[in-house]
Amino acid sequence: MYISWSGWKLYDGCAYAYWHEYVAKTIVDKPDDRLGSIFGSAIGVLFELFYNEEWWRKSQIQTFMVGQVERVLEQTIQEEISYDKKRDRPGGVLLWKGTGEGCNPRGLYETQEDLETDVREAVGRGLKIIRHHRLLGRRAQAEVDLNSKIDGHILGGRADFVILRTRPHYDLCLLDGKGSRHHGLYIDPRQVKWYAMLYRHRFSKSPEKLGYVYWNRQPNTKTFDPEKHIDWVEFSEYELDQLMEQVLTSVREIVEGQDTLPPAEKTPADTLMELASQVFKPKPNENNCRFCRYATATTCLRGFGIVKEMNRRYGRSV
Ligand code: SF4
């Protein structure tokens, strides 16, 4: 079977959510709002091109990159709202900030222009972060394929950036780019360890440094300090071994779990969901359920109850 970081993280958090997402591919009525991820995806593509197309060689690099923002943003939006062939998933929607149909009162941006302005501003910040941390060198690649065949399964992943830094560091860094304004919040340090684990398998050597690079400005900070835009993550070879063991155990459980379920085509949806919830056990709690798309009355009643209660507590409509 194939398992990615996001698949394994979901399984580790709640096996029932994993079953809905990756095994049953359950479609929920509620549209999947992707507005929150567009900024990170667009700025990620711009810096991927910066490395892979060697844009860094250009003299007026900032002006050039800002000139690419509109095109890259448009392309990113199209990808998010179109049918995802690879994952066999319908496209999402963009709920702009506002009230009324097609809007979200808690949305991040009111218009596409606001979003575009944010991405343009992030280009300059990103270039300063790269200069400050010397994220260039003899080896500087983006979107590095790390898919690895282990025990007959494919453990998948792409490292956002693999960079052999210039002086005074001369170290091999593996970095993941983040669009979030809240540095460190909702970040799982195991993500970069997952990539390091695969990198070690592919290249028989671990990266020397792992970290998250934050392209967005931090909330409530007036001055921009590039030093604060990378969070380095400590790790050891032993931790990578442990992670590998955990992942392979999960993979075995998933394969066995799928084998115990009857064929989807011959089983009523309600019965299949019930049986699946006995094998792929739900783990309802606020952390897991608050962002889970299956927290609905028809797909996971217990998760739905938790989210409903949270919304009531914070005065939000479901
Ligand atoms: S709503 Fe909660 S318990 Fe239900 S599938 Fe999602 S994460 Fe799991």
Write out the DSSP string of 56-114: GG-TTHHHHHHHHHHHHHHHHHHHHHS-BTTTTB---B--EESSSTTEETT-S-SSHHH
Amino acid at 155: L
The confidence score (pLDDT) of residue 173 equals: 98
pLDDT at 164: 97
Question: In the predicted model, is pLDDT for residue 220 greater than 90?
Answer: no
292 CA: nearest ligand 1 atom? 6
| Rounded Cα gap, residues 170 and 168, in angstroms | 6
Q: Convert the pLDDT of each residue in 238-292 to its tens digit.
A: 999 999 999 999 999 999 999 999 999 999 999 999 999 999 999 999 999 998 9
Query: In the predicted model, what is the mean pLDDT of residues 222-249?
Result: 96
Residues with CB under 6 A from ligand 1: 14, 16-17, 282-284, 288-289, 292, 294-295, 300, 302-303
What number is the average pLDDT over the span 219-234?
Answer: 90
Residue 298 lies inside a defined structural domain of this protein: no
For residue 318, pLDDT over 80 is answered with: no
Q: Is residue 274 part of a domain?
A: no
Say if strands 2-4 and 230-233 run parallel, antiparallel, or are unpaired.
Answer: unpaired
Select the more confidently predicted residue: 83 or 125. 125
Where helices occur in the chain by DSSP H, the ranges are 5-13, 15-18, 35-52, 61-81, 112-133, 190-203, 237-260, 269-279, 286-289, 301-313
Looking at the 3D structure of the chain, how many domains does it have?
1
Q: Is 65 exposed, middle or buried (0-12, 13-18, 19+ CB in 10 A)?
A: buried
- Which residues on neighbouring strands pair with residue 175, listed in sequence order? 161, 211
**By alpha-carbon position, which residue is closest to atom 5 of ligand 1?**
17
Residue 222 has pLDDT above 90, yes or no: no
Q: How far is the CA of 148 from the centre of ligand 1 (A)?
A: 29
End-to-end alpha-carbon separation of the chain, Å?
36
d(CA 24, CA 294) in angstroms, rounded, equals 12
**Taking the CB of residue 42, how many other CB atoms lie within 10 A of it?**
25
**48 lies in some domain:** yes
**pLDDT score at 317:** 58
Residue 76 located in a structural domain: yes
Q: Residue 186's pLDDT is what?
A: 80
Write the DSSP string, 296-315.
STTT-HHHHHHHHHHHHHTT
Nearest atom within ligand 1 for CA of residue 300: 4
- Which atom of ligand 1 is nearest to 283's Cα? 3
Tell me which residue range forms the domain holding 74: 31-132
Half-sphere exposure of 230 (CA within 13 A, CB side): 23
pLDDT confidence of residue 101: 82
Mean pLDDT, to the nearest integer, of 205-212? 97
pLDDT of residue 48: 97
From 6, 294, 308, 309, give the residue whose CB has the most ligand 1 atoms within 8 Å, as the site to mutate.
Answer: 294
- The whole-angstrom separation of Cα 50 and Cα 61 is 9
CA 305 to centroid of ligand 1, rounded, Å: 10
| Ligand 1 center from residue 310 Cα (angstroms) | 14
Reported pTM: 0.92
Q: Give me the chain's average pLDDT, please.
A: 94
Q: Which ligand 1 atom is nearest residue 288's CA? A: 7
Q: Is residue 200 part of a domain?
A: no
Task: List beta partners, residue 140.
Answer: 163
Q: Measured in angstroms, how far is the CA atom of residue 308 from the centroid of ligand 1?
A: 13
Average pLDDT over residues 174-201: 93
Q: Does residue 237 fall inside a structural domain?
A: no
Residue 49 lies in a domain: yes
Q: Is the pLDDT of residue 31 over 80?
A: no
Residue 109 belongs to a domain? yes
Question: Which atom of ligand 1 is the closest one to the Cα of 303?
Answer: 1
